[in-house]
Amino acid sequence: MKFYILLFPFMILLFITTGCSNRPIKANNSGFFNDYKNLDLSKKIEVYKYKDILVSPVIVVSNVEKKNQTDSQKKLYKEISDYLTLALKKVVDSNKMYNLVEEESDHSLKLESAISAVEVHFEDEKWNNNTPVSLGMDVVSYNAYRDESVRLLGESRLVDSWSSEVFTRTRSIQKDFVISLVNEKIEFKNLKPSLDSWITTFEKNLSN
């Protein structure tokens, strides 16, 4: 009896200190942006001050732990990053408002970007279409791919190269391009239409 009398307050204390919720905290974004608030942030960029853009390598947020990545996955993610980085550089280079540069300066912007995958269910109002999913097969993503519920998410921001002040943030789910597995793997050629779609969206945003 004494044991239970002593145990009870301990359990209460444990419960309080560990939080009331019995559920783990879930991630509802890729992690590239801390959150998706103020996504319409778009400060008027003082064009006379900022003419140069430095393009950072595109980050691939795979949601596959590095230690678990296969060689083919590592190769794929590098291929995606290289392809997108080169494409974004071409977009900046061909834009009449900006110059593509390779070094930071006090009058340059830095373009930071990331690509990831999300599980979507557009017909379900309760489902969060920002739910991250692995760029590859795992027990969680297996049926999302089978059900054709995976899309690419492209995120980018323009920041002052030196102060890191954020001027624009954009995110875009490529809704029309289903990402599928081929023999339980993702192949670059299956991703390419979606990647190209995001590049086109980026180009339009940069010109606005």
Partner 1 sequence: MNKLLLILAFSFTFLNASDIGVGSALNALNDYKYETPHGRDMRVPRMQKLIVVAFEKSTGDLVNKYLKTKDPYYLLKNDATFIADISKMPTAITKMIAIPQMKKYEHLVYLNYNEEFSKSFPVKKGTLTLLHVDNYKISNISFVTTQKELIAAIEK
| Tokens representing residue 46 in the block | 């003082």
Q: How far is the CB of 143 from partner 1 (least distance, A)?
A: 4
Using CB under 8 A, which residues numbered 55 to 94 contact partner 1?
none
Using CB under 8 A, pick the residue from 1, 5, 6, 20 that binds partner 1: 20
* 8 scored as a contact of partner 1 (CB under 8 A): no
Cβ–Cβ under 8 Å, residues 162 and 111: no
Cβ–Cβ under 8 Å, residues 116 and 32: yes
* 17 scored as a contact of partner 1 (CB under 8 A): no
Using CB under 8 A, pick the residue from 78, 146, 175, 192 that binds partner 1: 146
Using CB under 8 A, pick the residue from 79, 93, 106, 147 that binds partner 1: 147
**Torsion 121-126-127-130 (CA) sign:** positive
| Crossing angle for the helix pair 188-207 and 71-94, to the nearest 10 degrees | 30
* 25 scored as a contact of partner 1 (CB under 8 A): yes
> Which string of x and - marks every residue 97-126 that binds partner 1 (by CB under 8 A)?
------------------------x--x-x
Q: How far is the CB of 71 from partner 1 (least distance, A)?
A: 20
DSSP-derived secondary structure for 172-204: EE-TT-----BTTB--HHHHHHHHHHHHHHHHH
* 15 scored as a contact of partner 1 (CB under 8 A): yes
Interatomic CA distance for residues 2 and 119, integer angstroms: 52
Nearer to partner 1, 141 or 168 (CB): 141
Cβ–Cβ under 8 Å, residues 152 and 186: no
- Residues making contact with partner 1 (CB under 8 A): 11, 14-15, 18-27, 121, 124, 126-128, 131, 139-140, 142-144, 146-147
